[in-house]
Structure 1
Amino acid sequence: MAPEISANRWVAFGLWAAIAVYAAARVCQIYADSLPILLIVLLHVIPPALLAMIHGGGLYGRRGVLAFTAICLGTAALFESLSLRTGFPFGRYHFTGVMGPKLFGLPFLLALAYLGIGYCSWILALLILRYQDTPLRGTRIFSAPMLASFIMLAWDLSMDPQWATIDRAWIWEDGGAFFGVPVSNFRGWYLTAFLFFLAFAVYLRSRPPPAPISLGFWRAPIAMYAVCALGNLLIRPLAATPLAVADASGRIWRSADVRDVCYTVSLLVLTPFALLAWLRLREQAATGCIEKR
């Protein structure tokens, strides 16, 4: 067996093992009453980050995936830390102990969440725009980051009210119009994501596009994003969850409404992004642009 074939099989195993563990984590959230919350958070965050490192290494090489990681984590840490201290760009908030250890008020696991979902959002954008095998030059430098930022923002729309207003992983100090979350948070998310995607696009400008890669390889980030979307539909109220919760401003929200909006965004926004990327992939495989293996 050729070493390259063997290596490809190990990469495929790593990618789909990460997806399987993440899918199991989404099922585990049903049993949040009996499992440690930190374990559930770890299983939600680490598998997507591992997929990003494995897939990014196969697509961009070690140097490329390290560049993406450094740009993503550096930008995220900068803007999260800035907002914790000044309220810009997300709004005024603070983290509780739900997400585990913190450095200067910022949980380590939050940065890994940016990495995993950020990378999947980037790949989905490339596939939807059919940029995965073309150089990122001219208007592509801006259009790919713009779409990738919307795809990543959809993820935050689908989970922020649940994690903040009900689970209290972080607290919006002035509450907010979107079920306890301020609209400034979503503007800040888009800005942060756009800047690190743009920086990575500029980094790739002088690099040739990746060599033809198999269909299964491209499917992995789509599957991870789809599991994220559909996994949100498994969110169940904890036994101790009250029928209504108050945000930090004192405004009352029905717990069922908070969950319903998370379900709706997951089904009607995240899922179409994954489906569109999947269909684009099928189209390109049918025309021979992507290897069917």
Structure 2
Amino acid sequence: MHPSPVNARPGRSWTLWLLAGAVATDAVVTFVPLPLPGLVLTMLSLLAELVFAVAHGLLYYRARGIAVFAVLTLAVSNLAENLGVLTGVPFGHYHYSDELGPKLALVPVLIGPAYFAIGYMAWAIATILLGEVRRGSGWLVTIGTPLVASFVMVAWDLSMDPQSSTLRGRWTWEDGGGFFGVPLSNFLGWSITVYLFYQLFALYQRWRGADSQYLGKAPRLYWLLPAVAYAVVALDYVVTYLGGGHDGVAPQVTDAAGRVWHAIDVYETSALMAIYLMLFLSLLAALRVAQRDTTRPPVRALVAPVDEEKVDSVAGKSC
């Protein structure tokens, strides 16, 4: 099952240029060694990713749909993160440093937009791989697409969390964890949190989403770009490893539980996760898009309708 095509409206080709520009900007920040602090580079990447998510979502889901996705993502993630900091549920016991700037309650404001931007990419990839949830969709797609999207999203966290927490101290796991200072509970908590807002959005799409009769055709580039954007995010961890890591990070770091980790091992593992999880998912989505042939009519249209009365007549004569 393929995703539904985008609304065909005059003058929308500029949006593809905007999407491509956002991906290119993120790629420049990733691949070009700019003389800027790490947090500034992170914010520039996040800004490009936000532009991409909003522009891509507006073109497909319109303003109301992408607004619903944003509200659900921001509300559920902030509630879960604040609950996690207060109680340790569902992620485990941790707290944020002040490096990430102002906070909404106990969670930095930047965390929500990161959930939204990368979360939208993961959702788009899931719709490519399994199918778009729209009004009247079956339950397989309505439940399956959020599940697939949650795995795509957590693949990013597997690459990101050990670097951001254990090496760079943007948040601290108070009891440490076996995955370079990050506990298993973190990834289980992520799975629950992101699946929740994906499933809520899928239910909204099933009940209130755009009807398929209002949807036109989208070029392949439109569906290819989320896979490329997600691949750029993945390549950031590969480039970091090949470049020897971030400046200012000690060769060895000690987590809150007193375990010592080698920074190069963290960078190498993040690169491996990015290559064999994130890049694999990007490749799979890109190949799925390449399989689509929007110029060829459906198979059923190529087959002449069967005249059942004629078939019965011929069968009777042969007897």
Q: TM-score, normalised by structure 1?
A: 0.91
Identity within the alignment, %: 35
For residues 288 and 165 of structure 1, what CA distance do their matches in structure 2 show? Answer: 51
Report what 1:60 is aligned to: 61
Letter in 2 for 1:198: Q
For residues 216 and 17 of structure 1, what CA distance do their matches in structure 2 show? Answer: 13
Pair 1:218-2:223 in alignment: yes
CA deviations 1:210-230 (Å, max 9, x no partner) are 432111111121111011111
Letter in 2 for 1:217: Y
Going from structure 1 to structure 2, the CA distance change for 1:193 and 1:146 (only over 3 Å counts) comes to same
Question: What secondary structure, in the 3-state scheme, does the structure 2 residue paired with 1:194 have?
Answer: helix
Report what 2:288 is aligned to: 280
Question: How far is the alpha carbon of 1:133 from its aligned partner?
Answer: 8.0
Report what 1:46 is aligned to: 47
Going from structure 1 to structure 2, the CA distance change for 1:239 and 1:138 (only over 3 Å counts) comes to closer
Report what 1:14 is aligned to: 18
CA deviations 1:18-63 (Å, max 9, x no partner) are 11111122135x55xx422331121121211211111111101110
Report what 1:263 is aligned to: 271
Report what 1:246 is aligned to: 254
Question: In terms of mean alpha carbon deviation, does 279-288 or 223-232 score higher?
Answer: 279-288
Going from structure 1 to structure 2, the CA distance change for 1:143 and 1:287 (only over 3 Å counts) comes to farther
Pair 1:163-2:171 in alignment: no
Letter in 1 for 2:100: M
Question: What secondary structure, in the 3-state scheme, does the structure 1 residue paired with 2:293 have?
Answer: helix
Report what 1:193 is aligned to: 194
Question: In terms of mean alpha carbon deviation, does 112-121 or 240-249 score higher?
Answer: 240-249
Going from structure 1 to structure 2, the CA distance change for 1:220 and 1:134 (only over 3 Å counts) comes to farther
Report what 1:227 is aligned to: 232
Letter in 2 for 1:45: L
**Long gaps (5+) in structure 2:** 1-7, 299-319
Q: TM-score, normalised by structure 2?
A: 0.84
CA deviations 1:245-279 (Å, max 9, x no partner) are 11111101111111111000000000110001111
Question: What secondary structure, in the 3-state scheme, does the structure 2 residue paired with 1:94 have?
Answer: strand
| Contact 2:130 2:141 (C-alpha < 8 Å) held by counterparts | no
Pair 1:117-2:125 in alignment: no
Going from structure 1 to structure 2, the CA distance change for 1:239 and 1:60 (only over 3 Å counts) comes to closer
Going from structure 1 to structure 2, the CA distance change for 1:220 and 1:183 (only over 3 Å counts) comes to same
Letter in 2 for 1:89: P
For residues 74 and 289 of structure 1, what CA distance do their matches in structure 2 show? Answer: 42
Q: Which has the larger radius of gyration?
A: 2
For residues 40 and 240 of structure 1, what CA distance do their matches in structure 2 show? Answer: 15
Question: What secondary structure, in the 3-state scheme, does the structure 2 residue paired with 1:171 have?
Answer: strand
Question: How far is the alpha carbon of 1:74 from its aligned partner?
Answer: 0.6
For residues 252 and 296 of structure 2, what CA distance do their matches in structure 1 show? Answer: 54
Question: What secondary structure, in the 3-state scheme, does the structure 1 residue paired with 2:175 have?
Answer: coil
Question: How far is the alpha carbon of 1:242 from its aligned partner?
Answer: 1.8
For residues 57 and 161 of structure 2, what CA distance do their matches in structure 1 show? Answer: 27
Report what 2:106 is aligned to: 105
Going from structure 1 to structure 2, the CA distance change for 1:135 and 1:49 (only over 3 Å counts) comes to farther
Aligned length: 284
| Contact 1:38 1:100 (C-alpha < 8 Å) held by counterparts | no
Question: How far is the alpha carbon of 1:103 from its aligned partner?
Answer: 2.2
Letter in 2 for 1:261: T
**Long gaps (5+) in structure 1:** none
Question: In terms of mean alpha carbon deviation, does 157-166 or 97-106 score higher?
Answer: 97-106
| Contact 2:175 2:256 (C-alpha < 8 Å) held by counterparts | yes
Letter in 2 for 1:212: K
CA RMSD of aligned residues (A): 2.0
